[in-house]
Structure 1
Amino acid sequence: MNVDLVIEDERWTAVDLGILAGQAAEAVADHLALTPIDGQGVEISLLACDDARIAALNGDFRDKPLPTNVLSWPSEDRAPDQPGGVPHSPSDPELGDIAIAYDICQLEAAAQGKKFSAHVTHLLVHGILHLLGYDHIDDKDAALMEGLEVEILGKMGISDPYEG
């Protein structure tokens, strides 16, 4: 899986976001056994920004003009037919876009007593799963998505983000 990274907030360079994103993307692709589409590898775009930028995006796209940790915009609707079902396989090699905000990620990691890199990796896995059609609105969907996150992160040596 290829990650096209755009860094708007230079603080992200200090945590090697490109490396974290690549590792998260590969872990998701391996776990879900994603295969190339029409001979092309799948790709995501990642915007590394600050709270002000993500608040503007959250306001524009979700009518919630407040900062959030991560946002995602899938390139196509891959939602499953039934709650708790497996989403439809992608037909577009470009899975979509993700934005992640430095400030709120740092605050959350500190408040939860987690390593910043582990928290960011969790949010990247979370965002990539959203691009692939997973969600957490319905309880069955949330159980499936959170279970996948725990399994993927566990294979990466990162503790269950939902414990504690």
Structure 2
Amino acid sequence: MIHVELSREDPWPAADWDALATAAIRAAIARTPYGPLLDTPAAVEVSVRLTSDREVQTLNAQYRHKDRPTNVLSFPMVQRDLLETVSLNSDDGELLLGDIVLAHGVCVAEAQERGISVETHATHLLVHGALHLLGYDHMDDDEAEGMEAIERDALSDLGIADPYLVRED
């Protein structure tokens, strides 16, 4: 069973972020071979932190050696090969899948640039972050295409348009 532990800090406004994060993370996992994590009796936890650009910049500098804010950071806690064991064989216990951190200012600016709501963009970033927790990456073109395809499918399940379509204004 997936449990999302969410913390929201200023300047993120009050909203039903718990439901949004849970839906996004569940949709992402469902579109991968790790879908059985959704129904395993084990407690599978994802921590989501909605915070400031400053905090994300600090984390990005500390863990990625990039001294700037970014839209989303993911910190996986489980190696990909262990996920299969948990999803297929675990009937008790707990598993911390990892942490996802979103930067408010970057998220708002990107949403405005795309002409979408902050909630819609945050949903995309949460799907993206959840896939990183599962070991997906976009370091080369093939990986990026595969990850984007899963994102498109998960977001479609949530009623959100393809974020990778190029808009012609």
Specify the TM-score bucket, using the shorter chain as the normaliser. 0.7 to 0.9
Q: Who is 2:138 aligned against? A: 136
* Change in 2 beyond 3 A, CA 1:154/1:42: same
* Change in 2 beyond 3 A, CA 1:40/1:161: same
Using the alignment, how far apart are the partners of 1:38 and 1:118 within structure 2?
28
1:90: Cα distance to partner?
6.4
Runs of 5+ in structure 1 lacking a partner? 80-86
Q: Does residue 7 of structure 2 align to residue 12 of structure 1?
A: no
State the secondary structure of the residue aligned to 1:100: strand
Q: Who is 2:29 aligned against? A: 29
Using the alignment, how far apart are the partners of 1:90 and 1:138 within structure 2?
27
Which amino acid is 2:6 matched to? L
Runs of 5+ in structure 2 lacking a partner? 87-93
Percent sequence identity over matched residues? 41
The answer to whether the 8 Å contact 2:29/2:131 transfers is: no
Using the alignment, how far apart are the partners of 1:154 and 1:36 within structure 2?
18
Using the alignment, how far apart are the partners of 1:130 and 1:90 within structure 2?
18
Q: 2:119 aligns with which of 117, 120, 134?
A: 117
Query: 1:15-38 CA distances to partner (integer Å, 9 max, x unpaired)?
Result: 322121011122123333233697
* 1:26-105 paired onto structure 2 within 5 Å: 26-32=26-32, 33-35=35-37, 39-78=41-80, 89=84, 91=86, 93-105=95-107
Equivalenced residue count is 156
1:157: Cα distance to partner?
0.5
State the secondary structure of the residue aligned to 1:94: strand
The answer to whether the 8 Å contact 2:74/2:100 transfers is: yes
State the secondary structure of the residue aligned to 2:42: coil
The two structures, once aligned, show a CA RMSD in angstroms of: 2.1
TM-score normalized by the length of structure 1: 0.86
Which amino acid is 1:104 matched to? V
State the secondary structure of the residue aligned to 2:163: coil
The answer to whether the 8 Å contact 1:75/1:94 transfers is: yes
State the secondary structure of the residue aligned to 1:133: coil
